[in-house]
Amino acid sequence: MPSLNNQPIFTPLTADEPTIVAQATPVGVSGVAVIRLSGSEAVEIANKIFSKPLANPEHAKAIFGYVHAPNQPEKTIDQVLLLPFKAPASFTGEDVVEIHCHGGLAIPTQVLEACQQAGATFATGGAFTRRAFINGKLDLTQAESILDAIHAEGQQLSQFATQNLRHKTVAGYLTGLREAIIAIQCELVAAMDYPEEVDEPPREALQQRLQAVVEKANSLCETTAKTQWIRDGLKIAILGQPNAGKSTLFNALLAQERSIVTPLAGTTRDTVSETLVLAGVSVKLVDTAGLRETADLVEQLGVERSLEAAQLADCLLYLVDSTVVTDDTLPAEDATLLASIMHHEPEKPLLKLLTKQDVLTNKASVQGLIHQQGWQPLSVSSGDGLATVLQWLENMITTQLQSVKQANNAGVQLCLTSRQQGCLVAMTGHLEKAIETLCESAFPLDLATIPLTDALRQLDDLLGIDTAEIVLDSVFSQFCVGK
Ligand X SMILES: Nc1nc2c(ncn2[C@@H]2O[C@H](COP(=O)(O)OP(=O)(O)OP(=O)(O)O)[C@@H](O)[C@H]2O)c(=O)[nH]1
Of 223, 247, 379, 428, the one binding Mg ion (CB under 5 A) is 247
CA–CA separation, 288 and 302 (whole Å): 8
- Which residues does 472 contact at the CB level (< 8 Å), separation at least 6? 130, 133, 140, 464
- Region of residue 411 (left: phi > 0; alpha: psi -120 to 50; beta: else): left
Instruction: State yes or no: cis peptide before 242, omega within 30 of 0.
Output: no
Of 244, 366, 397, 435, the one binding ligand X (CB under 6 A) is 244
Choice between 39 and 302, CB closer to Mg ion: 302
CA–CA separation, 456 and 190 (whole Å): 18
Of 158, 381, 467, 478, the one binding ligand X (CB under 6 A) is 381
Buried b (16+ CB within 10 A) or exposed e, 111-124: bbbbbeebbbeebe
- Please state whether beta strands 350-355 and 376-377 pair in parallel, antiparallel, or not at all (unpaired): parallel
Within its chain, how far is the Cα of 98 from the centroid?
A: 28
Among 145, 113, 86, 137, which Cα is nearest to 23's? 113
Of 65, 266, 331, 422, the one binding ligand X (CB under 6 A) is 266
Q: In what order do the strands lie in the sheet with 28-38?
A: 63-69, 72-85, 96-104, 28-38, 20-23, 121-122
Of 19, 38, 268, 420, the one binding Mg ion (CB under 5 A) is 268
Which of Mg ion, ligand X, none does residue 451 bind (CB under 5 to 8 Å by kind)? none
Say whether 96 sits in a helix, a strand or coil.
strand
Choice between 34 and 238, CB closer to Mg ion: 238
Among 14, 22, 35, 11, which Cα is nearest to 88's? 11
Of 135, 169, 379, 458, the one binding ligand X (CB under 6 A) is 379
Residue range at the interface with ligand X (CB under 6 A); choices 96-104, 352-360, 386-394, 410-418: 352-360
Residue range at the interface with Mg ion (CB under 5 A); choices 126-134, 259-267, 325-333, 442-450: 259-267
What does each C-alpha distance from 82 to 115, 131, 184, 261 come to in angstroms?
13, 21, 52, 54
Choice between 92 and 322, CB closer to Mg ion: 322
Q: Is 248 in the site for Mg ion (CB under 5 A)?
A: no
CA–CA separation, 55 and 123 (whole Å): 25
Helices (H), 291-331: 297-312
Among 481, 248, 220, 288, which Cα is nearest to 380's? 248
Segment (H or E) for 435: helix 418-439
Of 84, 93, 154, 242, the one binding ligand X (CB under 6 A) is 242
Choice between 164 and 355, CB closer to ligand X: 355
Which of Mg ion, ligand X, none does residue 243 bind (CB under 5 to 8 Å by kind)? ligand X
Tell me how far, at minimum, the Cβ of 291 lies from Mg ion, in Å.
Answer: 11
Of 137, 231, 246, 284, the one binding ligand X (CB under 6 A) is 246
Which residues inside 211-240 make contact with ligand X, applying CB under 6 A? 240
Residue range at the interface with ligand X (CB under 6 A); choices 64-72, 180-188, 204-212, 257-265: 257-265
Choice between 241 and 247, CB closer to Mg ion: 247
**Residue count of the chain:** 483
Which of Mg ion, ligand X, none does residue 142 bind (CB under 5 to 8 Å by kind)? none
Choice between 84 and 245, CB closer to ligand X: 245
Choice between 79 and 256, CB closer to ligand X: 256
Say whether 31 sits in a helix, a strand or coil.
strand
Strand partners, 38: 20, 96
Q: Is 243 in the site for ligand X (CB under 6 A)?
A: yes
Tell me how far, at minimum, the Cβ of 313 lies from Mg ion, in Å.
Answer: 16
Residue range at the interface with ligand X (CB under 6 A); choices 2-10, 86-94, 167-175, 376-384: 376-384
Of 38, 355, 428, 437, the one binding ligand X (CB under 6 A) is 355
CA–CA separation, 125 and 22 (whole Å): 9
Q: Is 306 in the site for Mg ion (CB under 5 A)?
A: no
CA–CA separation, 266 and 155 (whole Å): 37
Of 335, 359, 425, 439, the one binding ligand X (CB under 6 A) is 359
Tell me how far, at minimum, the Cβ of 134 lies from ligand X, in Å.
Answer: 53
Q: Is 146 in the site for ligand X (CB under 6 A)?
A: no
Residue range at the interface with Mg ion (CB under 5 A); choices 87-95, 182-190, 265-273, 363-371: 265-273
Tell me how far, at minimum, the Cβ of 453 lies from ligand X, in Å.
Answer: 57
Q: Is 164 in the site for Mg ion (CB under 5 A)?
A: no
Where do contacts with ligand X occur on this chain (CB under 6 A)?
240, 242-248, 261-263, 265-268, 289-290, 355-356, 358-359, 379-381
Where do contacts with Mg ion occur on this chain (CB under 5 A)?
246-247, 267-268
